[in-house]
Structure 1
Amino acid sequence: MDRRSILTGGAAAFGALAITAVTSGSSLAEAAESYPGLYPDPATTPVPNPPLPKNLTRAERRHLETFDELDFEVFSHADWARLGESHAQNIRVHWPDGHHTDGIDKHIEDLSALFVWAPDTRIHSHPLRIAKNELTAVTGVMQGTFTRPKPDGNGGFIQPTGKKYAINMATVGIWNRRGIMDEEFLFWDNQTFNQQIGIA
């Protein structure tokens, strides 16, 4: 794989920033402060969505365009009737805490739960988008505000703090020949998430 054909412009800078953060054990924000020539932390400093990488196949381009539509329109507007445009009925979804779920109905239930306590949840930024054959890897910034009671998983509720959150996340998708995902891996830092909404 020719990495230069995938990582171009701002995407390459963001990739370098992420690698710097991982290898140094720092956050993206700390890495950006240490290396000011790199991309800023997208969760704290808005960055433009870069153009799609060059030299994509038709299928790779379609996967990334479908993923943009998924996050920017379907997810951000909680339009779950459209989730089948990007997700297979029997999709397996791996969550940041290590558990996985099977089936689109369960995935819709889990996604809907985010909007119960933060109805303004949205993703409008994809700073890095990569596609190779049936795989995509996309970074994004998920944002929202903790304005309604949050179920605590034990039959009770955590009262809203009114705090906003903006977290960096990444999604790796495995796509099938019908142009939808059979498997999805979601990554974000739950500790940072909980700290930002004031419950950690």
Structure 2
Amino acid sequence: MLSRRTLMQYGSAAAFGAVALGSVADGGGAAQTAWGGPIGDPATDPVPNPDFPKGLSSAERSNLETFDALDFDVFTHADWDRLGESHAEHIRVHWPDGHYTDGIDTHIADLAALFVWAPDTRILEHPFRLATNELTAVTGVMRGTFTRPMPDGKGGFIQPNGKAYAINMATVGIWNRQGTMDEEFLFWDNLTFYQQIGLA
């Protein structure tokens, strides 16, 4: 399993992640579309998914294609039996609040928890995609609607309010030779997320 230290040892990993994060932080303003023009904020002004970058190796393109399938098909349709197509059994996943989990079963439980209170949760947009060697950086827009009771972690529930959310996010993945991720870093603004669903 790769650690943060290992991530930084890859030549341009820090800059690679910074580009993707910068795209999320400013709503994508620093990113360029496949046709070369700047994009706005994908969460409020959807943009078409660009073509894959030119010059990718077959493994780099395969990793990006697998990631598209992960978000557009597996995650969006909560098809957890297929998560192993993109995630190794031992995957370590780093969450925006700083905690991390180990193992695909734990990650499935965490992802499924989003659908308990927002069953229409989905990711259908990847405005910005990069791949180099075993690294990918992909931005997306996660959308959903707070329509069912949300477990509060204390045995109770927060009642739904019907508020919709659309948040920019980024994922940096470290891939293995089997074509699955050994480690995944998830980034989004939790304050914006909670504000949009009326909890902050």
Interval of TM-score (by shorter of Structure 1 and Structure 2): 0.7 to 0.9
Change (3 A) 1:16 1:110: closer
* Alpha carbons 2:20, 2:128 under 8 Å: kept: no
Please give the alpha-carbon distance, in whole angstroms, between the structure 1 residues aligned to 2:148 and 2:88. 31
SS at match of 1:129: strand
Please give the alpha-carbon distance, in whole angstroms, between the structure 1 residues aligned to 2:154 and 2:21. 39
Q: Which has the higher contact order (CA 8 A, sep 6+)?
A: 2
- Tell me the CA shift for residue 18 of structure 1: 3.9
Please give the alpha-carbon distance, in whole angstroms, between the structure 2 residues aligned to 1:156 and 1:95. 24
Please give the alpha-carbon distance, in whole angstroms, between the structure 2 residues aligned to 1:152 and 1:17. 29
TM-score normalised by length of structure 2: 0.84
Opposite residue 177 of structure 1, the aligned amino acid is R
Structure 2: gaps spanning 5 or more residues:
1-11, 13-18, 31-36
TM-score normalised by length of structure 1: 0.84
Change (3 A) 1:136 1:16: closer
1:76-91 equivalences in 2 (<5 Å): 76-91=76-91
Please give the alpha-carbon distance, in whole angstroms, between the structure 2 residues aligned to 1:66 and 1:38. 26
* Alpha carbons 1:17, 1:39 under 8 Å: kept: no
- Tell me the CA shift for residue 28 of structure 1: 2.6
Opposite residue 99 of structure 1, the aligned amino acid is H
2:148 aligned residue: 148
1:59-92 Cα distance to aligned partner (Å, 9 max, x none): 0000000000000000000000000000000100
- Aligned-pair RMSD on alpha carbons? 2.2
Are 1:110 and 2:110 counterparts? yes
Structure 1: gaps spanning 5 or more residues:
4-14
Opposite residue 119 of structure 2, the aligned amino acid is P
Question: Deviation above 2 Å: which 4+ runs of structure 1?
Answer: 15-19
SS at match of 2:83: helix
Aligned residues: 178
